Amino acid sequence: MLNYVIKGNICYSKSSKELSVIENGYAVCENGRSAGVYQALPACYEAFPQYDYTDKIVIPGLCDLHVHAPQYPFRGLGMDLELIDWLNTHTFVEEAKYADPAYAEQSYTIFANDLLASATTRACIFGTIHPQATKLLMEKLEQTGIQAYVGKVNMDRNCPKNLCDQSADQAFTETEQWIADTYHYKNVKPILTPRFIPTCSDALMEKLSLLQKKYHLPAQSHLSENLGEIQWVSELCPDTAFYGEAYAKHGMFGGSCKTIMAHCVYSNEAEIALMKAQGVFVAHCPESNTNLLSGIAPVRTYLDQGIHTGLGSDMAAGTSLSIFKAMAMAIQCSKLRWRLVDQSLEPLHFEEAFYLATKGGGAFFGKAGSFEAGYAFDAVVLDDAPLVHPQPLNVKGRRERLIYLATDQHIAAKFAGGKNLFERVHS
C-alpha cells in the first residue's frame, strides 16, 4: 500500500484565487491518494513512513495538457514561421521519420527520460499517425510512472501522403487496433487525436466519433490558434458558424466526450459559450503562441467564465517541457494582452498561474493537482537552496521566485499516483 507522509512547506491550490501554504507541515498519502495536509501530524498517521523535506517547497505535480512528443528533436527551430508554414517545413518532415521504429525508439527514450526529470506528473501527449511508434511512446512513458494520455494522430487531407490515413475506414480499423493494444497500461491511456480540422475530413471525424462512443475515450485537438487557420476551416466546413462547431457536429467537443482544445487564441463569444456549456478544457500554450506569431489567448476570460483551463508546453512550438516556464509566460503574456490589446482583462496573478499548472489542468484527469483530501497524490519537492539570496525570503516569496527560476536541477523528489518516481536529495 502506498502510505507515507511528506514533511515540508506544503503549497497547493484550493481555487484559482486561494493558494494554501502550511509551513513545515505534513502531506499524507494513503493508498496513493491525499489524506489531507496538517500543521501537526494526526496520531493515526504517525506510524506511516516519513519523507523529511523540512524547509523545502512541496507542490502538487504539474500538468501539461498539450505536448507533441515526436517534435521534441527539433525544438527551437523554425521560430520565424507561422503555424501552417512551420507545420509543412518542420513538423511533417520530422514526424515522417517515426515510420522507422528504430528512430522512434531513440527519440522517445530521450523524450520520456526528460519528461521524467521535469516537474510534470501528468500530461496529454500527441504521437504520430504510426501505431507502432505510438505504442513505443506509451511503453516508454508507462515505465516512468508518469500519468498520461497519449494519442495516435489521425489525418486524411492537407498533409503529406506518407502521413495521411488512406481512408476513413482504414483509419477506423487501425486506430481501433491501437486502442486494443494499449488499453491495458496502468499509467498511460489512449486518447483520440484528430490533429485539427484542416487535416481531418468529415468522414474521418465520423469514424473517430464512432470509436469515441464505443470505447468512451477522451479527445484532444487544436482550436482557433491562428487567423489563417480559422479562415481555412470556414472554407472547409461552410456548414459551421465557427471552428468549434466542426468538432461539435461529430460529438467531439466536450459533453459526453471529455475534450481538450489547445490554444483558443481567437475563440469568439459563440465558441466560448459552447466550450463552457460542454465543459471543454482549454490548454493554454503561451510560449508556442508567441513563437509562431499566433497571438495572446484571453486566458482571463476563460478563468472568469469558469471554463476548464490548464497549461501546455506545446513542444516543439514551445521550446521547453517546463511548466514552470509556461506559468511565467502565462503571466507575462496576460500582462501584454492587458497593456496592448484589452485593458478590461486583468493580468493573471501568481496564484492563478499556479492553479492552471496544477488543479486547473489536473481536473482533466479527475481529482488531481491538489493536496486536498481524496486527490491523487502527485507531488514535487523543490530545493531552492542553490538559489542563494542575500536576505531571508518567506515561503510566499520563495514559491513565486521558483516559477521564474526553477529548473529540473531544483527538483529533489517526484511522486505520481502515490509512487515515488525518483529522489535526488533525501534529508
pLDDT tens column, 284-301: 999 999 999 999 999 999
Shared domain check, 373 and 339:
no
Taking residues 357-367, what's their average pLDDT?
98
Distance, in Å, from the CA atom of 416 to the CA atom of 127, rounded to the nearest integer, reads 22
Identity of residue 323? I
Give how far Cα 123 sits from Cα of 103, 243, 280, Å: 22, 25, 17
17's CB contacts (< 8 A; 6+ apart) are: 351, 352
Shared domain check, 349 and 293:
yes
Domain's final residue, options 328, 346, 365: 365
For position 37, which CATH number holds?
2.30.40.10
Distance, in Å, from the CA atom of 404 to the CA atom of 402, rounded to the nearest integer, reads 5
φ, ψ of residue 157 to 5 degrees: the values are -155, 160
389's CB contacts (< 8 A; 6+ apart) are: none
The per-residue pLDDT for range 4-43, each reduced to its tens digit, is 999 999 999 999 999 999 999 999 999 999 999 999 999 9
Shared domain check, 81 and 49:
no
- pLDDT of 425: 56
Shared domain check, 207 and 156:
yes
Shared domain check, 218 and 105:
yes
**Cell numbers 465520423 label which residue?**
206
As given in the structure block, the three cell numbers for residue 133 are 511508434
Total structural domains within the chain: 2
As given in the structure block, the three cell numbers for residue 425 are 536529495
- pLDDT of 427: 44
Residue 234, pLDDT > 60, answer yes
Shared domain check, 92 and 49:
no
pTM above 0.75, yes or no: yes
Q: What whole-number percentage of the chain has pLDDT above 70?
A: 99
Taking residues 235-243, what's their average pLDDT?
97
For position 275, which CATH number holds?
3.20.20.140
Give how far Cα 290 sits from Cα of 1, 40, 385, 407, Å: 45, 45, 32, 21
Through-space distance between the first and last CA atoms of the chain, rounded to whole angstroms: 23
- pLDDT of 346: 96
18's CB contacts (< 8 A; 6+ apart) are: 351
Per the structure, the complete domain to which residue 345 belongs is given by 62-365
Nearest to 314 by CA among 304, 303, 325, 302: 325
Shared domain check, 410 and 374:
yes
Cis peptide before 180 (omega within 30 of 0): no
Shared domain check, 343 and 273:
yes
Pairing of strands 4-13, 50-60: parallel
Shared domain check, 115 and 53:
no
Shared domain check, 159 and 28:
no
Shared domain check, 66 and 56:
no
- pLDDT of 389: 85
The per-residue pLDDT for range 308-359, each reduced to its tens digit, is 999 999 999 999 999 999 999 999 999 999 999 999 999 999 999 999 999 9
Residue 384, pLDDT > 60, answer yes
Give how far Cα 76 sits from Cα of 279, 316, 400, Å: 33, 7, 27
Are residues 153 and 127 in contact, defined by beta-carbon separation less than 8 angstroms? yes
The per-residue pLDDT for range 260-284, each reduced to its tens digit, is 999 999 999 999 999 999 999 999 9
241's CB contacts (< 8 A; 6+ apart) are: 270
Q: DSSP letter at 11? A: E
Identity of residue 176? E
Nearest to 21 by CA among 58, 61, 50: 58
Q: What whole-number percentage of the chain has pLDDT above 90?
A: 95
Shared domain check, 379 and 352:
no
- pLDDT of 1: 75
- pLDDT of 426: 45
